[in-house]
């Protein structure tokens, strides 16, 4: 899947709803995918074209970056100078986080030198961004959010925002055509499958 694609298919949503697409399912999946991204602060498709992005180090050793799925084409530059590949270490190692496999890289640790500390994003990282495969929990969350959107809008209409059930940390107000509004309160049941993938905030230009 390319960057910006939906995380579930029309056929999968048809199976979940038990009805055929009435012409609105692609839009529902698109909206649901963007809401999952807003909740997790991640995007889960991938690009196979390297792109330079700008980041700010949190400390002299650690540089949090957007998710990238391969070390091929990875390049780092500060103050117009390229870093040697042995001057940084991409993590997590082995694609494992909390016992879960299939994760991309999202941290770069300096080796034998230090990241520049600045209020500005001064480190340029070129990579193929995204995940190799969309996690099953993200697909499930997308389908559940699309289902809620379909139910709240009558499949195709838009009756406004509907606040979902809340548990443990955050809530999302769903609207028929917009991105989720996050509030400190609880996690709606639809987003529970996406919880393991929710990222803490970090500074990105």
- Tell me the DSSP string of the chain: --TT--SS-HHHHHHHHTS---S-HHHHHHHHHHHHHHHHT----B-SS-EEEEE--SSSSEEEEEEE--STT-EEEETTEEPPGGGEEEESGGG-BTTB----EEEEEESSS-PPP-SS--EEEEE-BB-SS--HHHHHHHHHHHHHHHHHHTTT-----EEPP-BEEEEEEE-TTSPPEEEEEE--GGGGGGGGG------B-
Q: How far apart are CA 129 and CA 108, in angstroms?
A: 14
d(CA 179, CA 53): 24
Instruction: Work out the widest C-alpha separation in the chain, in whole angstroms.
Output: 59
Task: Report pLDDT for 200.
Answer: 81
pLDDT 10s digits, 40-63 = 999 999 999 999 999 998 899 999
Rounded to whole angstroms, the Cα distance separating 158 from 174 reads: 10
* The pLDDT of residue 5: 92
Encode pLDDT of 119-152 as tens digits.
777 899 999 999 999 999 999 999 999 999 998 8
Question: Using one digit for the tens of pLDDT, what is the confidence trace for 59-115?
Answer: 999 999 999 999 999 999 998 899 999 999 999 999 999 999 999 999 999 999 999
* pLDDT the model gives residue 187: 77
Which residues, including other chains, have CB under 8 Å from residue 36's CB and lie 6 or more apart? 7, 138, 141, 142, 145, 191, 194
pLDDT digits (tens, 9 = 90+) for 161-193: 444 443 344 444 444 444 444 443 467 889 999
Residue 4 is predicted with a pLDDT of 85
- Residue 35 has what pLDDT? 95
Give me the pLDDT at residue 186, please. 66
The reported pLDDT for the residue numbered 50 is: 96
Residues β-bridged to residue 129: 68
pTM of the model: 0.80
């Amino acid at each position: 899947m390319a960057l910006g694609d939906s995380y579930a298919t029309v056929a999968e949503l048809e199976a979940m709803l038990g009805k055929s697409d009435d012409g609105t399912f692609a839009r529902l999946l698109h909206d649901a995918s963007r809401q999952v991204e807003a909740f997790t602060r991640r995007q889960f498709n991938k690009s196979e074209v390297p792109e330079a992005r700008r980041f700010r180090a949190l400390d002299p050793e650690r540089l949090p970056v957007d998710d990238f799925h391969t070390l091929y084409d990875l390049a780092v530059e500060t103050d117009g100078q390229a870093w040697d590949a042995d001057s940084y270490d991409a993590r997590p190692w082995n694609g494992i986080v909390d016992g879960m496999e299939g994760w991309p890289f999202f941290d770069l640790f300096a080796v034998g030198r230090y990241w520049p500390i600045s209020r500005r994003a001064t480190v340029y990282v070129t990579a193929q961004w995204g995940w190799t495969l969309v996690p099953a929990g993200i697909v499930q969350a997308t389908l559940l959010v699309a289902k809620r959107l379909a139910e709240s809008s009558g499949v195709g209409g838009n009756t406004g925002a509907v606040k979902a059930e809340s548990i443990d940390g955050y809530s999302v107000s769903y609207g028929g055509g917009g991105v989720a509004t996050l509030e400190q309160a609880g996690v709606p049941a639809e987003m529970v499958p996406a919880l393991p993938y929710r990222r803490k905030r970090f500074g990105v230009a």
